[in-house]
Amino acid sequence: MKKIITIVSVLFGLFLIGCTPQTNPNKYQVTFKGLNDTIISTIEVEANQVVSYPVVPSETGHTFVGWDQTVTTITKDTIISAIYQKKVYTVKFYDINNQLLETKEVEYDSQVVAPTAPIVVGYDFLGWNQELENICKNLNVKALYKQKEYTVTFYDADGNILEEQIVKHGESASKPADPTKDGCLFLEWDQEFSNVTTNLDIKPIFEENVCLVEFVDMYGEVISSQKVGVNMSAVAPDIPNVAYHSFIGWDQEFDRVTSNMTIKALYKKDEATFVKTDVNYWLKQVSFSSNINKELLTRAEINDYNDKITSSYSSTKVMDVCMISKTQTSMYVKSLINKYTNINKYNVYHENSKSVLSSSDKETILANRNLDNILETVNVKFGIVTTQTWVRSYPTNHYSNDYDMDRFQETALIIGEGVAIYHTSLDGNWYFVQAENYNGWVEAKNIGLCSQEEMVSFVKPENRLLVISNYVMIEDQCARMSAAFPLLSELETTYQISFPKRTNEGSLELIDLEVTKSSDYSIGYLEYTYENVFKQAFKLLGIDYSWGDKTMAGRDCSSTMNAIYKCFGFMMPRNTSNQVAIPGYGKKLSGINNTAIQEYCPGTMIFTSSHVMLYIGTDENGTAYLLHNTNAGNGECILQSLNGYGPSKINGVLELQ
């Protein structure tokens, strides 16, 4: 019986164990919380077990800095919270001129208080260019302003509104046409309208019983302006001379003036006729619509052009030699020398025997460049061209491809040009020079060495004598068009000039020399007029075409344009691709027909992909003509119609007016 009871008790105990929940006193719950009590994770660990911390999630605008407690062993249920710190951003405030006003540090998602915007005269403050709430990154905040605007109203003689203009603070209103009033002469407006700082009502001031009478030439240019009393007579000015025209009278009477008048001179065309190869033919054609003696650009405007062309060297390849630094780096000099890479592109022929050079001969030419002896810092030397000299790709007179189209012939430098000398060949017979619009190798025997100061004094003298014919011979030297020499004095029949010579030692010697006065020369640059441009151009009509100016008197197409325009003081790129790329003056086209070309002024340079021509106007039939030096046909400077040349070939123009 006792045994039965024991078995039952054991079974009942097992039943209780299986049916009643049990809590394990040796395990605890650990909860990890993040920002705003969000649960990162929950784990169960045994008593005294080391806790592994979870990876903390990143939170926008916050930086995790640690946990609120460090627990090594767990003895109870535990909550561990991550501690975050708000990020701080830098907000910088700038004024209208981008000058820093204030810097502020701002916590994430906060608002920043802007400083007081500075008062700017003539401007209204509009606000800031960035939102200043909920900052979530570094900010550069700029003050925004709008320039104040004013209404400037001009009235006529009767008090009616003549014109209204909206003018920004500090700027000027545009002067309207002068108002009129019968029997009165307009004198001026009653207020200044430059530097406008308020609304303005501007009224005219007249002189009673006086009229303005202006006499104009056939081109509309005022030649006389007179104040004439009502019912009085104006006085005719001296009759203006107009080339290729005869004066026949005035277009209206002016013996009893009752109102303001513009009186135009009337002319008839001269009966004289000229052949098309005569410059007078084309000057007469131009004179029908333009004053051929009017200055097209002033000396100051040409100087401004020269400043622009030298400051755009990457496009024009033109520099002021007088401004070249006295030192250069070896890297720079080597880069100029190494740009010539065509020595193996063509057969190379001996300058005398005309035999083909071998590969080893070519290597000798390259070795003569003496590249290994270019110092890290190159001390630049200077000189004056004393004999017209070729500029070569390499230090040799051996020629490539063909003698007349020698691909080693780059250009020629005329006597009197200044050069910077960067390097000397291994044999000492060649200089690598930088001229105004080119660099390359020239024979040392044609350069007289001098200081930079002596060079500047020679090429930029106070007074100069300019060669304006195709060429003249001076001391057995060819001085081509645009060659210039310091003018020392002007005598009755001669000019005394300073002329460059090279001594046996290679230095520059200047001798005083007298040349006979003639139409070959001009004291100073020519005035830039249609008449002078055409006369210079037609002096070159018929001269030989010479690639790279290899012959003494010949020229190629771009050299022809250079010669013409240097007589007026223009600095000019040597090659056509650089001429058409002159910023602000040259532009690209895509073909141009006989009608469209007439939108351009005579004297405009016209370009194809590798050629340049001078537009000289239209003949009596309206056909456009060009003057250019070409290797086609007989190989000379010719006149040719645009249609005869091919309008579709045109791809650019250069306007110097």
pLDDT score recorded for residue 24: 59
State which amino acid sits at residue 18.
G
Whether pLDDT at 208 is above 90: no
CA distance 92 to 114: 10
- Helices H / strands E in the chain, number of each: 11, 41
**Domains (ranges, CATH) in the chain?**
27-85 (2.60.40.4270), 88-147 (2.60.40.4270), 149-208 (2.60.40.4270), 210-269 (2.60.40.4270), 293-298+530-654 (3.90.1720.10), 319-455 (2.30.30.40), 461-524 (2.30.30)
* Sign, CA torsion 536/537/539/545: positive
pLDDT score recorded for residue 4: 43
Whether pLDDT at 393 is above 60: yes
Q: pLDDT tens digit string along 413-451?
A: 999 999 999 999 999 999 999 999 999 999 999 999 999
Structure tokens at 27: 């395990």
Whether pLDDT at 46 is above 90: no
Q: pLDDT tens digit string along 532-571?
A: 999 999 999 999 999 999 999 899 999 999 999 999 999 9
DSSP-H helix ranges across 551-604 = 557-566, 576-579
Please report the beta strands in 47-122, taking only residues with DSSP state E, as ranges in sequence order. Answer: 62-67, 78-86, 88-94, 100-107
What's this model's pTM, rounded to 2 decimal places? 0.73
Task: Specify whether the CB–CB gap between 117 and 129 falls below 8 A.
Answer: no
Whether pLDDT at 14 is above 50: no
Mention every residue, 6+ apart, whose C-beta is less than 8 A from residue 320: 306, 310, 436, 571
Q: Residue-wise over 108-118: b if at least 16 C-beta within 10 A, else e?
A: beeebebeebe
Segment 509-519 shows an average pLDDT of 97
Whether pLDDT at 17 is above 60: no
pLDDT score recorded for residue 20: 42
